[in-house]
Chain A
């Protein structure tokens, strides 16, 4: 989403924080060091692409490389089409028309975002599989030989992912549609465009950058997914990396596979940039008179409401309802796992530690960037924000390889100097896991912190400095209180993403250290659907938190786009 920079006052002709050197240098340097550290896994994986090992590639080629590439491409295309149709269609309905319940649907349609794909995936598998209740009931009606679509197929994977990922396209498209000015549409009408032509010739082209951004986000999630494709036995890169790593203990092959997956991600990144072009189609200058939605009546109104209900029902109410039923069933029964509190505690610990670190790190980087606009620091911060585009499996591999090397070196030193064999100190420790999370999710907190820091005028820093406060004091006495809301927001977002993250946790967790996501994976890969309901619901409840934040952030849009800033994460400094 774009940040409104117009609030930065043009008081001093050059709105920079400081040109004064010496005193402020520690912050940019700290930011640079963190950037290097966080970018290491990415560089490790990229460098393996630059130094391909021929044997491994030959082996991969003969075995499953083609299948992997084909499956991954098919997944991207299928999910891409799915999220575009659902996302644009629903955004169009709720922002251009008025029909019964449209206000409610506006935010109900965001809810599926709260459910990780692997959760909805296993619920659907349980419900619609051959032995599931739906097919059993169907055969009861039409006899044992009756045809039923196979949920555990390509189609099933695409359906599941589409249902949880369409909100990205929906949200961004809706924002773009609401920001459109009525006068542009009137101008087009005056120039002779028919009403239905407006859609194709004006509205959708104007919303294109937003649509493409949403699509790219959704597809990056699809590429990163491990849980769903794994239980649907649909081989993509993430599954292959896991199998090669744990099945064959072949690190080099896993690294090569990770680098190829990275290639796909990079492709998406470039595609997004190219498709968006240099366009920044927003009419934020002056006040925008929003388009007045058209009131639907009769069967059209009910059809619109029905379509929205269907999506909300299938993507949210059905899976959550089923999980609730299962959970109630297992809670009192013998299937309840007494270790659940431990899993919960493990998950919360990891999520809390990472969220805290991510917010602290983001604050250092944001402040470093504020004090120094040297190209190096800017590049470092951008590089550190790349992690969000990387699938967890890629990051896990990128973290493991250097960590193992570090462990070997450490072990050597300890052995030689003290004569003890320390074993693996870092690999398979919490350090490695939290670091991987940090690499993956730092971008979220950096983005949030940066967006709010920009709203604090540089003169605020100067005012405090001229009153005798040093650079650390400014951070502590001015920025921290002003950023409280946004920092909380960033922490929630990171917290929930860590709760959901599956592949990195599986690859890096300390032995026997199970989290909710890991537990779901273990249970679902052996088809213990009902037992997986409790951990899954826990994650869904957590996942609703950031969605609520999002809703708060999005809702003012219904009035004017200018009010968008007045969200929960707003800093009091921008009044």
Chain B
């Protein structure tokens, strides 16, 4: 059964603005973690707010647990939706202690079961020694844990997290990411989280939805999204991408660096761009090679090269850092894709 269902959801803040969320449909199963990924202003936070009930959709249906939360006739306010929210800046109640914050949503429980649930949550996030502290006496990571515990305490059917890790510095971020992931998995929580960082999304989510201009461009497993992007935008947003222009011929797709299989069955004669990730390209030192190394960035485990093709095309490629290439050195470019992804050139988005 689908726990969360959005159907043709539409939201526009002002008539003169483009829609913030445009005809968005998705379904989420119980226990599944979905990441909404996209650049700022793509509508991912608005989607979250629509699910939480902070915004009312202009069109479409929002369903949680089989119950209609919002459509043309219904609007259930956030306090009756049973949805947990973790905010980017945590938004802990500054006048309440850690324990009071976590117990905030437990008013309907009897005193003993409230105390029991509070203790469970404190244990889960490992904050029992800090129960009597106030939010401003906690570190960023601890505040994050309180926010998580507070949202999870009333056993919400869905947990929504809005850029939960963006306020933490890099080290703590990875640590918290794994910790939160472990907690969510342990409790079997259904969750939607919003992020602009594709690595974060790939690490945590079962499925990733990539949003662009309010539209859901692709929804799929992280591997799918990375290796088989549905659009040029997705390809570029989830990692560095090279697009090599080519033309579809009988034998496949003909490009400046070789022939690729036409696995997608693109029409004969069409102008297309083949997607190549930097690590799908191999550089071989060869004085007779047609490409020239124009930039080199040593990064420890690997080296990032920029090579110049005679056609004027610049290619990014990752090479093992053992490969020593000099600037201006001639190389041969060998593409070794495990699968071929190509987009019609006319599709190029502005």
Task: Name A residues whose Cβ lies closer than 8 Å to a Cβ of B.
Answer: 9, 11-14, 18-23, 457, 459-460, 462-470, 473, 477-478, 481-482, 572-573, 575
Contact = CB atoms under 8 A, between A and B. Distances in A.
Contacts of A9: 89
12 contacts: A9-B89, A459-B89, A465-B53, A465-B54, A466-B79, A467-B104, A467-B150, A468-B82, A468-B105, A468-B108, A469-B79, A470-B79
Nearest to A574: B94
Interface in B110-128: none
A23 B55 CA distance: 12
A186 B40 CA distance: 40
Contacts of A460: 91, 93
Given A465-B79, A482-B94, 19 more contacts: A9-B89, A12-B162, A20-B53, A20-B55, A21-B56, A459-B91, A460-B93, A462-B85, A463-B150, A464-B93, A465-B78, A466-B52, A466-B78, A466-B85, A466-B151, A473-B79, A478-B93, A482-B95, A575-B136
B85 A11 contact: no
Interface in B83-100: 83-85, 87-89, 91, 93-95
Given A466-B81, A468-B105, A575-B136, A459 B56 contact: no
A454 to B, nearest CB: 15
A572 B137 CA distance: 13
Nearest to B135: A575
A411 B87 CA distance: 58
B13 A14 contact: yes
B77 A466 contact: no
A466 B82 CA distance: 7
Interface of chain B, helix or strand or loop or mixed? loop
B93 A18 contact: no
B85 A464 contact: no
Contacts of A466: 52-53, 78-79, 81, 83-85, 151
Contact of B55 (A11, A19, A457, A482): A19
A107 B85 CA distance: 47
B49 interface: yes
A463 B56 CA distance: 17
A9 B89 CA distance: 9
Contacts of A575: 94, 136
Nearest to B43: A13
B107 interface: yes
A23 B77 contact: yes
A22 B79 CA distance: 13
A11 B163 CA distance: 9
A467 B41 contact: no
- B80, B91, B150: which has the most chain A beta carbons within 10 Å? B91
B42 to A, nearest CB: 10
Contacts of A23: 77
Contact of A457 (B84, B91, B107, B154): B91
Contacts of B13: 14, 19
- A9, A12, A477, A573: which has the most chain B beta carbons within 10 Å? A12
Contacts of B79: 465-470, 473
Nearest to B13: A14
Contact of B40 (A13, A462, A473): A13
